[in-house]
């Protein structure tokens, strides 16, 4: 993989800083009840990346939280400001989900999932990327991203 694609991000207090040296795999907003609770807001936006592309500095704490799949995930927080920076899902080895808005540059969601649980006062203009629950990854992710996670 070429290393000419670099993204940077940080927590609110800048104790935690990270770099992603590689193209993100996919970005999605999730409107499920678990994500509402973990953010204290209406949805979460996650950008999936390869773990090998990820470099982080600054101390984080982690906790295991439940997911719909039952396998759970580890959420990582800055130990000073408490911002939830990234997580690792039990079912996706070798990959990390960044909290998209901790990135310096904006990335738009390519999908909205668990739209069945979406707050009624949120109107998503692009209906073609809305999924009642989960999408079929083989049909939704780019070919390039699918190839990378199968390596």
User: Which stretches of the chain bind Zn ion, using CB under 5 A?
Assistant: 11, 13, 15, 30, 32, 35, 78, 80-81
Query: Which of the 8 DSSP states describes residue 126?
Result: -
**Number of other CB atoms surrounding residue 95 within 10 Å:** 19
CA distance 24 to 7: 9
Of 22 and 27, the one with the shorter C-beta distance to Zn ion is: 27
**Number of other CB atoms surrounding residue 31 within 10 Å:** 21
Of 14 and 147, the one with the shorter C-beta distance to Zn ion is: 14
* Residue 115 near residue 98 (C-beta atoms within 8 A): no
Sheet with 73-78, edge to edge strand ranges: 60-65, 73-78, 84-89, 95-99, 44-50, 26-30, 111-113
To Zn ion, the closest distance from the beta carbon of 35 in angstroms equals 3
Of 33 and 147, the one with the shorter C-beta distance to Zn ion is: 33
Of 77 and 141, the one with the shorter C-beta distance to Zn ion is: 77
* Residue 80 near residue 60 (C-beta atoms within 8 A): no
To Zn ion, the closest distance from the beta carbon of 33 in angstroms equals 8
Of 9 and 22, the one with the shorter C-beta distance to Zn ion is: 9
* Residue 25 near residue 144 (C-beta atoms within 8 A): no
């Amino acid at each position: 993989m070429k290393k000419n694609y670099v993204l940077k991000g940080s927590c609110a207090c800048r104790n935690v800083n990270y770099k992603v040296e590689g193209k993100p795999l996919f970005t999605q907003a999730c409107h499920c009840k678990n994500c509402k609770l973990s953010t204290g807001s209406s949805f979460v936006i996650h950008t999936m990346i390869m773990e090998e592309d990820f470099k982080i500095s600054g101390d984080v704490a982690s906790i295991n939280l439940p997911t719909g799949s039952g396998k759970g995930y580890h959420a990582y927080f800055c130990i000073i400001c408490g911002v939830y920076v990234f997580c690792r899902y039990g079912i996706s080895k070798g990959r990390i989900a960044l909290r998209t808005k901790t990135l310096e540059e904006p990335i738009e969601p390519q999908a909205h999932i668990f739209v069945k649980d979406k707050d009624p006062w949120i109107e998503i203009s692009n209906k073609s990327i809305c999924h009642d629950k989960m999408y079929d990854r083989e049909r939704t992710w780019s070919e390039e991203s699918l190839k990378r996670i199968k390596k």
